[in-house]
Amino acid sequence: MVRRLAALGLFLAGCAREPAYPLHGEAMYNRYCASCHGLTGKGDGPAAALSPPPTDLTKADLSLPELMKVIDGRRTVRAHGTAAMPVWGEVFEQTTPDPGREHRQALRDVQAVAEYVQALKARARQEGT
């Protein structure tokens, strides 16, 4: 039992350092986010003429959990009007082909997109933009 717990601990520690689904995150971002936020995350996508304009994600100063909450959108209090960004958590749940695991898969999708957004931010910093 102790050996199994130790192995689980090592596995989870490794998962915390590695992105969940790096290629999946990029594909999800390109499909759902790039039209507004642009391929590089600077808020310059082809549908960027919104009001308010899309956020420049390369300048967003959110932790991974905060970013996941924003992307997921299901826990946001919308008492002061509607949000400009879709509630992606609900969208991802509706597109999950795995019955019974919709919520879990939606959270994985949200995490993958959030990790990809953080990679875009890191890339922009390296390039000095």
Total number of domains in the chain:
1
What's the mean pLDDT in 19-47? 88
DSSP result, 31-47: HHTHHHH-TTSSS-STT
Q: Which domain holds residue 77?
A: 22-127
* 6: in domain: no
Asked whether residue 13 is domain-assigned, the answer is no
55 within domain boundaries: yes
Position 7 in a domain: no
Average pLDDT, the chain: 81
* Residue 100 within a domain: yes
pLDDT in tens, 41-83: 999 999 988 888 899 999 999 999 999 999 998 876 554 445 6
Q: Is residue 50 part of a domain?
A: yes
Q: Is residue 106 part of a domain?
A: yes
Q: Which residue has the higher pLDDT, 1 or 30?
A: 30
